[in-house]
Amino acid sequence: MKRFILIKQSHLQNNIVMQNEQFNFKAAKEQIDLVYYIVSLGFQYSKQNHHDYWFKSPLHEEHTASFKVDRRRQIWYDHGTGQGGDLIDFIKAFHRCDFKESLTKLQEYLGLNPSTMEAKNKQNIEQDNFENADKHIHIIAERSVQKYYLRQYIQSRHISISIAEKFLKEVDYSLKERNYTALGFANNDGGYELRNKYFKGSSMPKAPTIISLTEGKNDISQQSLSVFEGFFSILSFLELLEKDKHFTEKPDSILVLNSLSFLNKSQDLILSFGQIDMYLDGDTAGKKATKHALSWSEKISDCSHLYESFKDLNTYLVPQDLQCKEQEEPKISYGLRR
């Protein structure tokens, strides 16, 4: 691994360069303002009280800001889930990765932001005009997935392009007066879940997605439904289904909640099916939601035991897929369209 050190290049900026030494993540952490890091991911704080900044949680859907960052101490706490910690803990929770991967994410972030990070950290966040920035994502255009870096991102998640193309689009969107491109997964109300390697967000309206996979059964009470939390989980499920790993029967329909907050709102729809299998994430929030859903009816089954000890179906899929080899990532800023 490599170490980042600061070298003066001019009176305008400092630049971060890599030396052939061990990466010093403690020193790197000290160069990053946690509030700015979260804002750079596309999230805006809702209020500020002294050193405390309150966000609607980047880790789950919510209507009232319960995610607090203590900027003085550079720590965070999510009152909705009970999680908390420092920058590394946030990277691990947000990207759903382990400690080793979080260091890679930190290196990538520093490498992609050499000209702006130091200058931004010397400013007050309040003066960066976040309140006046456009807080909503606006969809500009959609098309089939064509860009190399998006197709590579799909493959890095061990999803085949043939499966991904059935459900994902390449979406151009604007945020804070800048244009970007990401993978888009459409919901039933016309909004998108947006993902690329460095961004996780949603366009309005936010809603679940229900997809019919089979035809011929008119009576919904005779149909089967599989419920997932996010779209990479259903893509992983279909990938595993194709490989005959555990999942031998294709459900008649799939429901992607796109947020656990839609579970209760989808109760009537879920219970209208004759057989319901739950494939929610294996974290605390996912297990709690699954337990809640099981209380609704005996026809609901918890299938998370099939990927026990993994955070979700995608993290289960990756070590199982020995055919897919990781490719070297191009060192460019993904998603930005100039």
Query: What is the domain-level CATH number for residue 272?
Result: 3.40.1360.10
11 and 122 together in one domain: yes
Residue 328 lies in a domain: no
Q: Give the structural domain span for 227.
A: 209-319
Give every CB contact of residue 138 below 8 A, 6+ residues apart in sequence: 173, 174, 175, 203
Which residue among 128, 159, 180 closes a domain? 128
Residue 63 lies in a domain: yes
With a pLDDT cut of 70, the percent of the chain lying above it is: 75
24 and 123 together in one domain: yes
Q: Is 56 exposed, middle or buried (0-12, 13-18, 19+ CB in 10 A)?
A: middle
Q: What is the CATH number of the domain that holds 109?
A: 3.90.580.10
111 and 219 together in one domain: no
Number of domains within the chain: 2
Residue 175 lies in a domain: no
Q: How confident is the model at residue 28 (pLDDT cuts 50, 70, 90)?
A: low
Residue 168 lies in a domain: no
124 and 20 together in one domain: yes
**Taking a C-beta distance cutoff of 8 angstroms, is the pair 225, 276 a contact?**
yes
Tell me the pLDDT tens digit for each residue of 185-209.
999 999 999 998 878 888 888 899 9
Residue 256 lies in a domain: yes
Tell me the pLDDT tens digit for each residue of 63-98.
788 999 998 889 999 998 888 999 989 998 888 888
Residue 176 lies in a domain: no
**pTM tops 0.75:** no
Residue 315 lies in a domain: yes
SS3 label, residue 91: helix
**Amino acid 155: pLDDT:** 93
pLDDT, greater one: 326 or 293: 293
**Amino acid 317: pLDDT:** 86
pLDDT, greater one: 197 or 23: 197
